[in-house]
Amino acid sequence: HEAILQAEQWIDIGSYHSARVELERLLHLPSSADERSRIIFLLMNAAFSDQDFERSFQYSQEFLAGNQTDDRRNSALYCSGVSAYHTGRYKIALQSLNIYLRDVSESPTHGTALYWRGLCRLQQNQFPEAENDFQECLKDSASYEFHDEVLIGLSLLAERQGDTMREAKYLDQLI
């Protein structure tokens, strides 16, 4: 479908809103199951990139419900986990990220998934597990861009545990 290809090109250049408008229009037209799945997946990614995490979460859930064996499932699990975190659905975020991390060990987003799972665990007062995720993320060279965020996560963890010395140690690394 030419309109889907055009929306993909718009996503590639960062015009997520325009792509979403076109894909939403296409979603309401008759289409095959494969086309509908492709549209939902693209809408999920465009909403995620546009930081519309509520819509990204909704689309990820729809995609996952109808595509249990699809090759794009892991990408949808990652979007679901991060979007669920951003919308305060920490239990669902943990479920999605746990499955993602179990199924995808060699991925550029593996370390960042550990970071997001660490934040979910921090929100749920699962302190040892959160610290483990943050420390594993720091070891992952592919997630270096999250280095400062991980240090902030570790400092928040130390703060919640009442360990001001450890909190200061992590914050000093950011300076």
Cα(87)–Cα(32) distance, integer angstroms: 31
Cα(41)–Cα(38) distance, integer angstroms: 5
pLDDT in tens, the chain (175 residues): 899 999 999 999 999 999 999 999 999 988 899 999 999 999 999 999 999 999 999 999 999 998 888 889 999 999 999 999 999 999 999 999 999 999 987 788 888 899 999 999 999 999 999 999 999 988 887 767 778 999 999 999 999 999 999 999 999 998 8
Radius of gyration, alpha carbons of the chain: 18
Report the predicted TM-score, pTM, of the whole model to 2 decimal places.
0.90
Cα(102)–Cα(145) distance, integer angstroms: 22
